Chain A
Amino acid sequence: MLATVAATAVLAIVLGGEALAGRDPIRTVAAPWAAPGPGLPLGADALGRDILARVLAGGRDLALVSLAAAGSACALGVAGGLWAGWSRSRAARAAVALSDLLLVLPLLLVAMLAVVVLPGPPAVIAGTVLGGAPLTLRVVADATAQARHAGYVEAALSRGERGLSVLFREVLPAHAGLIGADLGQRMVLAVQLTAALNVLGFGPPPPAPDWAAMLRENLPGAGLNPAALLAPAAALALLAGAVAGLSHVLAGRS
C-alpha cells in the first residue's frame, strides 16, 4: 500500500514536474556552476541554469517515451505469445523462431541501428520492441501452452467457447500477474535504453532539459557543483525503482 502511494507520487512528479518547478529550466539565473544556496537548492550548471527546475522538467519526455516503448513491446509480446502458445500451426512456430532469432542480436546493436534510421523517440520504441517483445513472447507462449490443459480451459472448450474467447476470458486473466511483472521489466529496460541513447546525444536537442543529457552536460562541472550530476542520476534511479515497484503491485494483484 505504502509502496503503491510512493511509486505513484514519484510518477506524478516526473510527469507533471515542470509545473512544480516555478522557474524556466532554460533561463540563466546564476553564475556558472553556482553552488547550492538560498533560492537555488541544487545550484546551477555550466550556463547558470537552475538544476532543480531542470530535474523537475527533464523526466517527462523520457518517461513517456519509455512507457510507450514498454507498452508496445509488452502488448506485441503478449499477443504473439497467446497466439504461439495456443495455435500449433506452422505460422505460429515460424513466428517463435523469428523472435528467437531477434533474441540472438545484442539489444544495443539493434538500438544503434534503429537510431541511424529513425529519430530519437521512435528509435527507442523500435529498440525496446525488437529487444523486449521476444522475451515476453517466450514467457507468455509457455504459460499459454501449459494453460491449454488446465481444467478451466477444458471446461471453456467443453461449452463451445472459441479460441479467442478462451484466450481473453480465461488464459489472459489467469496470467495477469505474470504480464504485470513482465511489463515492469520491459519498462525498466526502456528507461535504460532511452537514457543510454539520450546520453549519446540522440535525445531532445539542447537547451531542452533531459536527465540523460544533463549527465553528459554536467560531467565537466562535477567538482564544482556535484549536485548538478547527482540529481539527474538519482532521478533516473528513482524512476526505475518506482516503475519496478508498481509492477510488483500489478503482479501481486492476481
Chain B
Amino acid sequence: MSGLTVSGLTVTGRTGAAVIGDVDLSVARGEVLALVGPSGAGKTTLLRAVLGELPPGLVRAAGRVEWDGAPLRATRRWRRRHVGYLGQDPASALHPLLTARAAVLEPLRAAGTPRAGRPACAERALTEVGLDPAEFAGRLPHQLSGGQAQRVALARALAADPDLLVLDEPTSALDPAALETAVALIRRRRAEGRSVTLVVSHDDSVVAGLLDRVVRLGATRSATRPAAPRGAARMRPAGAVLTVRGLSLDRPDGAPLLGGVDVTIAPGEFVAVLGPSGCGKSTLLRALAGLHPVRAGSAVLLGEPLPWPVRDRNARALRALALVAQDPLAALNPARPVAAALRRPLRLLGGLGRAAVTAEVNRLLAAVGLPAETARRYPAALSGGQRQRVALARALAAGPVLLLADEITTALDAETAEQVLDLLDGLRRDTALAVLAVTHDKTVAARADRVLRIDRPMIDDRRKTTDVQ
C-alpha cells in the first residue's frame, strides 16, 4: 500500500528491557495519524524508531518499517527527500547562525526544488505560518521569541511540501493563533491527499477534528494524587508578596521591549501573564528572577526592597522567588542525576539535614507525579514532560513564596498538567504560595485569579501592560 506501514516494531534499551513493544501502525497518503499517550510513554522514541534515528543506547530489536510498500533502506537519504520534521523543542533546533530565510531554504535544497524558485517558496512558507517575510526573514534565532522560533521551524518542516510530515508535540509553546495556522495547514495537506502526516501529542483535543487514526501508548496512571510537599518551614507573608513599579526592559540588542510595568501580587494569588508570542512575557519573568538586565523600575519583596541582579539578593529573597524556565532541555544539568538537582536547593536554602533531604526528594518527586526511582536517573533518560516536572520540583524544593512559572504545562499531557496545577492550588491554599505564570494554555489561564495582559506594540514600540481584575 502507499504510505507508511510499521509492523511489530520493538525498541529495547541497554538492559534489554522493551521501551516500546510490538507496535503496528499504517497510514495511507492523505491520512493523519496521531500517537497519543501520557508523558514518558515512549511517543518520541517510537517516532525516532520509525525515522531510523534512535538515540544511542536504544536499538530496534524487531519489526519492519515500510514506505510505499518497500522496506526502508538508506534512511538518511529518505528523510532528506521525503520527511519534514518539527521537533519537540524547535526553538533550540534552529541553527544559531542561520537566519529564518536560510533555515527555510535548507529543506528546499534537499528536496531538489529548482534554485530560481526557492526564495519565493521560502517567503510563501514563512507567510503561511503567520510571519511577515519582510520583518522576520533576516532574523537570527536569538532575535526571535520562543513562539516565533517555533513558527520558523514549522515553516521549515512544511516548506518543501514533504511526503511525510512529522510533528512532535505541536501544541507545546504555540500560541492559539499559531496553533490554528498549523491545524489549517495539516487540514489542507489531508484534503490534497498526497502526503502522510504523523502527529505526536499528549493533548489530542486540538487535533481531534482531523485525525484518521490514533495509536495510544502507555497505560493511564491511577488517579490518586500525592500530598503536597511539606518543604522546609515556609515563610508566610503578610501584605503583598511582590510589588513592582515602573519596570522597563530592553531586548538583548538594546531595543525597548517592555515599558512601565506595574504589578502587585498578593499571597496565594495566581496571576496569569498572557500576550502574543514575542511580546516579552518570558523576559518579564526572567527579569523578576534577576536573570535579565533591567533598565528602570523598583521592586519590593515581602516588605524589603529587592535588588534586580540575582547576585545582589540575600538568602531570604533567593528562597522566596523561584523560576521554572521555558526550555526543559537545558533546564537540567546533563551530567548530574535528578536527585543531585533536587538535593542542592534543599540543603543550601532549606537548611535540611542529610536524612531529611532524601525523604524530601522522594516527596517532591511524588508531588509532581514522578516515581521515586526517577531520582537516580540522568536527564537524558527522561522525556520532555518528565524533565519539566523535575524542574518544577527543583523550584518548589526551597519552599518559595512566589513561583515564576514559564509555560510549565505545555510539555505535559492533560492528566499530568491537571495534577501539577492541582499541586499548585494545594500549595496556594496551604502555604499561601503565589504564582505568576506565563501561559498559552487556556486551562491554566482559567484557574488564575487575575490576568496580566501584555498587548501588541504601541506606535512608539513601547508595550503597555494592563491589569485585568
Q: Determine, out of B64-72, B318-326, B369-377, the stretch whose residues face the partner at the interface.
A: B318-326
Task: Give Cα A85–Cα B234 distance, bound, in whole angstroms.
Answer: 36
Measured between beta carbons, the chain B residues less than 8 angstroms from A176 are 335
Q: Within A60-111, which residues are at the interface with B (CB < 8 Å)?
A: none
A157 and B310 contact, Cβ closer than 8 Å, known pairs A151-B325, A151-B330, A152-B332: yes
Q: Is the CB of A159 within 8 A of B330?
A: no
Whether A159 lies near B345 (C-beta < 8 A) is: yes
**Range class of the B interface residue count:** 20 to 34
Q: How far is the CB of B328 from chain A (nearest CB, A)?
A: 8
Interface mask (B321-357 → A, CB under 8 Å = 1, otherwise 0): 1110101001111111000010011001100000000
Select one of A151, A158, A160, A174 contacting B335, CB under 8 A: A174
Quote the shortest CB–CB distance from A185 to chain B (angstroms): 21
* B219 at interface by CB-CB < 8 Å: no
Pair B290/A152 contact, Cβ less than 8 Å:
no
Chain A residues closer than 8 Å to B345, beta-carbon distance: 159
* A169 interface hit (Cβ, 8 Å): yes
Distance to closest chain A CB from B367 (angstroms): 18
Indicate whether A151 sits within 8 Å of B334 (C-beta atoms), given known contacts A157-B311, A160-B348, A169-B344.
no
Give complex CA distance A176, B334 in Å: 10
A93 to B139, CA, bound (A): 30
The answer to whether A24 has its CB under 8 Å from any CB of chain B is no
Chain B residue with Cβ nearest A172: B335
B291 touches A158 (CB 8 A): yes
Decide: A158 near B323, CB < 8 A? Known: A151-B391, A152-B341.
yes
Residues of A in contact, count (CB < 8 Å): 17
CA distance A159 to B395 in the complex (A): 9
Q: Is A155 at the interface (CB under 8 A from chain B)?
A: yes
Please pick, from B289, B330, B336, B349, the residue contacting A160 in the complex, using a CB distance under 8 A.
B349
- Interface check B394, CB cutoff 8 A: yes
| Shortest Cβ gap from B182 to chain A (Å) | 26
Q: Does B468 contact A (CB under 8 A)?
A: no
Could you mark each residue 141-166 of chain A with 1 if its beta carbon is under 8 Å from any beta carbon of chain B, else 0? Answer: 00000000011101111111100000
Pair B291/A154 contact, Cβ less than 8 Å: yes
Q: Which residues of A contact B333 (CB under 8 A)?
A: 150, 152, 170, 173-174
> B313 contacts the other chain (Cβ, under 8 Å)?
yes
B408 in the interface (beta carbon within 8 A): no
**B318 contacts A158, C-beta separation under 8 Å:** yes
Shortest distance from the beta carbon of A210 to any chain B beta carbon, whole Å? 40
Which listed residue, B321, B336, B349, touches A173 by the CB 8 Å rule? B336
Interface pair B336/A158, CB less than 8 Å apart: no
- Using an 8 Å CB-CB cutoff, how does the interface string of B383-411 with A read, 1 for contact, 0 for none? 00000000100110010000000000000
Q: Does A254 contact B (CB under 8 A)?
A: yes
- Inter-chain CA distance A220–B395, complex, in Å, is 72
Say yes or no: B331 contacts A173, CB within 8 Å: no
A155 CA / B348 CA spacing, docked (Å): 13
B315 contacts the other chain (CB 8 A): yes
Known: A159-B348, A160-B348. A151 touches B321 (CB 8 A): no
Shortest distance from the beta carbon of A143 to any chain B beta carbon, whole Å: 13
Residues of A within 8 A of B323 (CB): 154-155, 158
Question: How far, in whole Å, are A133 and B152 apart by their CA atoms in the complex?
Answer: 41
Instruction: Give the interface centre of A156, A157, A161 by most chain B CB atoms within 10 Å.
Output: A157
CA distance A174 to B378 in the complex (A): 12
Bound-state Cα–Cα, A150 to B391, Å: 13
The smallest C-beta distance from A2 to any residue of chain B, in angstroms, reads 17
Closest CB of chain A to B216's CB: distance in Å? 31
Q: Which residues from A are CB-within-8-Å of B334?
A: 174, 254
Question: Which residue from chain A places its CB closest to the CB of B323 in the assembled complex?
Answer: A158
Can you list 8 residue pairs at the A/B interface with Cβ under 8 Å?
A: A158-B289, A158-B290, A158-B323, A160-B315, A169-B336, A169-B344, A173-B333, A176-B335
Residues of B within 8 A of A (CB): 289-291, 310-311, 313, 315, 318, 321-323, 325, 327, 330-336, 341, 344-345, 348-349, 391, 394-395, 398
Q: A151-B391, A157-B291, A161-B348 known; 13 other A-B pairs, CB under 8 Å?
A: A151-B331, A152-B336, A152-B341, A155-B331, A155-B394, A155-B395, A157-B311, A158-B323, A159-B344, A159-B345, A160-B313, A170-B333, A174-B335
